[in-house]
Amino acid sequence: MMTRLSFSPRQLILCLCATLATIASVGTSFANDDFQGATHMMPFEEDTIGYGERQDTSLIARLQEAIDAGEVTLDFKHDGQGYLLSLLDHLNIPTESQLLVFSKTSFQRHKISPSTPRALFFDENTYIGFVQGSNLLEITAVDKELGGVFYTLEQDPDKKPKFVRTDQCLECHASSKTMGVPGHLVRSFEVDEIGIVDLITGTSQVNHRTPFEDRWGGWYVTGGHGKQIHRGNLFGKAAFEKQKESPNFRGNLEDLKEFFNPSPYPHGTSDIVALMVMEHQGHMHNFITRMQYESQLMLNAYGHLKYLKHKVDAFLRYLLFVDEAPLTEKVGETSAYAKVFAEKGPKDSKGRSLRDFNLETRLFEHPCSFLIYSEAFQSLPKKLKDEIYTKLWKILTGENNQPEFEKLTVESRKAIYGILKETLSDLPDFW
């Protein structure tokens, strides 16, 4: 089948926006790191990917089927949270993953402020947004081939729960900031007293490479981090000024009662470790989707993936946390999220897992993304996965000593190799 080369009018607009955004971001540190500069929009509405037409097979689509078949019911609570807890429960998403963002940066921005932050909950398959006083839950489901798929759920106890797919979310969730594919966003800006962002102060794409001091503008942050400075818990000019004289006057907080009433939320926290995991995985998900789309388009056009080879290196650099911003002190010692997350495994015979935290010099003890086990990674075309596994094997066994990967220590390489060999089922025989 031939790929049509024409773009829909909306895509042309998206493309133009992405190009302008890329031009605007030239000179910032992330510009060329992410996909070797390839942040342009992918033609995902065209036949090959068929984003808009294809039904997703995400956990949300599967949950809807179970609800329609009468196998599952969602419990509605009349305390303002509606379906939230029941939905999290059915999806096995820990409430401890709760994050709170108060910048007016998203879909229901008029309802979001420092006194009414938006709560996010997530795991490796789904992200849920809860806004106080809203009749909609916002959901990003990760589909194994389509990437981020967007849904809303109306909070109405009198109607059977219906997840409505809403591609209108792509207005923000598919741009140069999501690697040109439908995906996830994390940003950091200075905000005023009511949560309006000051765009010129921004880091518009936060991931594990973002230095600590640039993170969490517009977000609440709970948990210890020693003397390391960040932009969380600050709103209004005065607070940012004060931060310069008394760094961390709003750092190392265990609760947020001084800023808002926590009772509408499952927890009063916005866990620092959960924030760091979300920032790693949001970008990792986007990267996996980008690789999926690139390979589908290339296989369709040429029948091979030769032109994608050099991008495998960039992908592995992110997967292996090579350019991760280092920690200089302990982070999140009291994190409730860290415990729940680490328990999930899988563990090898030595009890090690890619979900083990380090939290002293880096995020994870064994720096290789746990998303390697995800359906999305596992569903990459076999030709691409073979390429990734071959290169990964070379890096981990030391056969490949490219300077790009030299930050990865011999111990880390050995441990990751050992863990993957025992816990990843589809590795090629030469592993």
Applying CB under 6 A, the residues found at the interface with ligand HEC are 101, 103, 105-107, 118, 120, 127-129, 138-140, 150-152, 166, 169, 171-173, 184-187, 282
Q: How far is CA 350 from CA 311, 392, 398, in A?
A: 33, 21, 22
In angstroms, the CA 307 to CA 266 distance is 48
Rg (CA), the chain: 21
Q: Which is nearer to ligand HEC, 101 or 415 (CB)?
A: 101
Q: By C-beta, is 127 or 357 nearer to ligand HEC? A: 127
- At which residue do the structure tokens 């942040």 appear? 39
Nearest to 210 by CA among 334, 85, 361, 327: 327
CB of 124 to ligand HEC, least distance (A): 12
Nearer to ligand HEC, 198 or 313 (CB): 198
Burial (CB < 10 A; 0-12, 13-18, 19+), residue 401, is exposed
Residues 293, 286 contacting (CB under 8 angstroms): no
- 122 vs 389, which CB is nearer to ligand HEC? 122
The C-alpha angle 34, 40, 41, rounded to 5 degrees, equals: 120
Closer CB to ligand HEC, 141 or 322, in the complex: 141
CA dist 57 and 63 (Å) reads 10
Residue type, 47: D
Q: How far apart are the first and last CA of the chain?
A: 36
- Residue 309 CB, shortest distance to ligand HEC, in Å, is 30
**Cβ at position 150, least distance to ligand HEC in Å:** 4
Closest distance between ligand HEC and the C-beta of residue 308, in Å? 25
Return the number of the residue (202 or 268) whose C-beta is nearest ligand HEC.
202
Residue 279 and residue 274: Cα distance in Å, rounded? 9
CA angle 289, 203, 196 (to 5 degrees): 110
Cβ of residue 207: shortest distance to ligand HEC, in angstroms?
Answer: 12
Which CB atom, from 106 or from 423, has the smaller least distance to ligand HEC? 106
Q: CA dihedral defined by 175, 177, 179, 181, rounded to 10 degrees?
A: -40
In angstroms, what is the minimal distance from the CB of 333 to ligand HEC? 26
Cβ of 374: how many Cβ atoms within 10 Å? 18
Which is closer to ligand HEC, CB of 216 or CB of 293?
216
The distance of closest approach from Cβ of residue 364 to ligand HEC in the complex, given in angstroms and rounded to an integer, is 20
Displacement of CA 182 from its chain's centroid (Å): 12
Is there a contact between 377 and 288 (Cβ–Cβ < 8 Å)? yes
| C-beta closer to ligand HEC: residue 106 or 412 | 106
70: left (phi over 0), alpha (psi -120 to 50) or beta: left
Nearest approach in angstroms of CB 279 to ligand HEC is 10
CA distance to 143, 192, 218, 240, 402, per residue, from 114 (Å):
32, 9, 8, 15, 46
- The least CB distance from residue 354 to ligand HEC, in Å, is 21
- One-letter amino acid of 349: S
**What's the min distance (Å) between Cβ of 121 and ligand HEC?**
9
When the beta carbons of 123 and 138 are compared against ligand HEC, the nearer one is 138
